[in-house]
Structure 1
């Protein structure tokens, strides 16, 4: 509703058309969506990216319906949907994509050219993403359903593992993408900046990919304990020892093979906000010819930034350091479709328990404002909203 305030309100039941509303791009108003379905939301998660908007750190308009991490059951099917059926239980990639444009055909669903008139790429309930209505609600419309939805093969089995499967909409693929982009493989040493849910998912993914040692850095002691709970090393960045010194205490050398920035533009140092500090420190401790995965969010508009440059996404990046060390940096939204089917199979076959790693915590839709407030205070939990009591049941 305004910075620091979220409310639960009644909204219209979805229809197969994109109507005018908060954040809806004028060119998207009236867009026919016969290729979509309406989902009864089974799980919808609160994301750190949502918090950036709630804190007033983006240009998100008042009244925006939040929520881009959605799992749901199909209750209505649009005229042009061919393969998805009523009753299917599905994961919804947070990227909205058409499946028809050049980017989609090349596997870059995070930068679809046809769903957002402002720029490539779109998401549900997110600022500057075309105005698609978010899924922290009882029901939500998903466009291009045959393309976008990942159907779970067995509903009963899926409901038994629904907390793990609810992470497929965003943070499990996003964390995995960060680790993959950083080049994590068997025997790697890895540093993950940030012990929030995406950082924990990246650390878990690095282990899943065979890393020898995964080190997680943060200022939040509770979140560092959560990282330790599934076998990560942890470095407390509030301590006097520098990051290279703390890494050397663990590994014997002050550097790692791969680094993941799971913090983004609201990064903080010991003395306050420092938006480039994670990127610069990650380049400092990544070995020569190493790689950095950057799933942490960076924006082009930040009204609450510490300086004028940062307000438009310009940061004091030590690019010379990265250049001199022949680093590779990969950034941007995760193309969820690239990973979600295989990660689903890992969950369904008991090879991955991501919900435990991120401490998934179920709350009801009326409790969403409390969830936002507690998440903003830095609790080591990933809040999963259960609008219809289906998870509890």
Structure 2
């Protein structure tokens, strides 16, 4: 099978283009990929992690086809694919995992040992993640299909919920993972740093896990309004007021039980100095307002190389973190990529049985493939939307 294909391509800081790209093949380098499938992409989302690359804050090479949040229809299966069938509607975890290595067998699919020669862990269309072609395209190849893909059980039901289900490839499991690793449970008070899409997904996840009170902090009024729209309390961090002082009237205490860092390495100072970057700001803040013995989930992205950082130390991923404070308060920290497969089936069920409306929470906006550059620009400007690309116009239709 061979036909046309187009994709969103990184062309340098601040510049993405929609270009013609090769139609995917069931091949890995010079050998055939009998365990893979080719998907017609139904939805593919713009992620905050993509924005880090497009801003020039990573070592991403020009010409990289972007996109790691993929939902699609199987149109071709490799010879060795046994359980996934042509016509299946599937969610693609952003982690590429072989299913065979020690880490995969332990459920740690975010750090598979066999899919990236440079380091553990791989992803589609992402810097230092194995060179895999991204999925902000019309068609894409997915390897190890029987292991990686989540097949939706009913086609019509899946298509009806596609704007919710598209969040299963990354941000919904990632937000949920942040909350699980922070120890969120029934009756918890939770602080979430950042009201971008991952932070909003974490807030929904905290509610799903039974949190009594979910507080989100951000400096973007539009995003704080979006968080409030589904029952979150909010902290406007443009104020110079200490966070503990803002928390106390909301939760009745100056500390919370659990905290989630959904911001990552481009964190900025609070208050009047909010234009100034301070990469460890969120980590230090959440240690300050999390109770002794509490847990901190860190799904926000931190990188080993940040060429756009303000300091030489931060350019190499070295942060001025108050680790002594965390040690003194016996905090637990959990970092790294979310192992999507650990959660995506359960979260699919929550969507299909209408226990959660994740698309409404993150404020999905459908755009065309040709609208992707504008979506990147608007997202970079701070709009409170989650842009979902509809490459074939099938969802809008």
Say whether the fold is shared (TM-score over 0.5). yes
User: Which residue number corresponds to residue 87 of structure 1?
Assistant: 87
TM-score by length of 1: 0.97
Q: Secondary structure at the match of 2:388?
A: strand
Which of the numbers 287, 290, 301 marks the counterpart of 1:286?
A: 290
- Structure 1 residues 31 and 229 mapped into 2: Cα distance closer, same or farther (>3 Å)? farther
Whole-angstrom CA distance in 2 between matches of 1:289 and 1:69: 35
Query: Could you report, residue by residue, the CA deviation over 1:89-137 in whole angstroms, capped at 9, with x for unpaired residues?
Result: 0000000000000000000000000000000000000000110100000
Whole-angstrom CA distance in 1 between matches of 2:296 and 2:241: 23
Answer yes or no: is 1:133 the counterpart of 2:133. Answer: yes
Task: List gaps (5 residues or longer) in structure 1.
Answer: 19-28
- Structure 1 residues 31 and 325 mapped into 2: Cα distance closer, same or farther (>3 Å)? farther
1:40 deviates by: 0.2
User: Which residue number corresponds to residue 26 of structure 1?
Assistant: none
Q: Secondary structure at the match of 2:127?
A: coil
* Matching of residues 54-203 of structure 1 within 5 Å: 54-203=54-203
Which of the numbers 8, 13, 16 marks the counterpart of 2:23?
A: 13
User: Which residue number corresponds to residue 24 of structure 1?
Assistant: none
Whole-angstrom CA distance in 2 between matches of 1:379 and 1:242: 26
Whole-angstrom CA distance in 2 between matches of 1:6 and 1:83: 36
- Structure 1 residues 108 and 319 mapped into 2: Cα distance closer, same or farther (>3 Å)? same
Answer yes or no: is 1:309 the counterpart of 2:319. Answer: no
Answer yes or no: is 1:334 the counterpart of 2:344. Answer: no
Task: List gaps (5 residues or longer) in structure 2.
Answer: 1-10
Task: Count the aligned residue pairs.
Answer: 383
Q: Secondary structure at the match of 1:351?
A: coil
Whole-angstrom CA distance in 2 between matches of 1:47 and 1:30: 31
Answer yes or no: is 1:387 the counterpart of 2:373. Answer: no
Whole-angstrom CA distance in 2 between matches of 1:328 and 1:110: 20
User: Which residue number corresponds to residue 44 of structure 2?
Assistant: 44
1:74 deviates by: 0.2
Q: Secondary structure at the match of 1:63?
A: coil
Whole-angstrom CA distance in 2 between matches of 1:78 and 1:221: 48
1:16 deviates by: 1.2
1:31 deviates by: 4.8
User: Which residue number corresponds to residue 229 of structure 1?
Assistant: 229
Whole-angstrom CA distance in 2 between matches of 1:63 and 1:296: 25
User: Which residue number corresponds to residue 241 of structure 2?
Assistant: 241
1:253 deviates by: 1.3
Q: Secondary structure at the match of 2:215?
A: strand
1:69 deviates by: 0.2
Q: Secondary structure at the match of 2:285?
A: helix
Whole-angstrom CA distance in 1 between matches of 2:233 and 2:45: 27
Whole-angstrom CA distance in 1 between matches of 2:196 and 2:395: 23
Query: Could you report, residue by residue, the CA deviation over 1:185-213 in whole angstroms, capped at 9, with x for unpaired residues?
Result: 00000000000000000011001100000
Whole-angstrom CA distance in 1 between matches of 2:55 and 2:312: 18
User: Which residue number corresponds to residue 264 of structure 1?
Assistant: 264
* Matching of residues 290-301 of structure 1 within 5 Å: 290-301=294-305
RMSD (Å), alpha carbons? 0.7
Whole-angstrom CA distance in 1 between matches of 2:101 and 2:394: 36
Whole-angstrom CA distance in 2 between matches of 1:221 and 1:31: 51
Whole-angstrom CA distance in 1 between matches of 2:14 and 2:117: 28
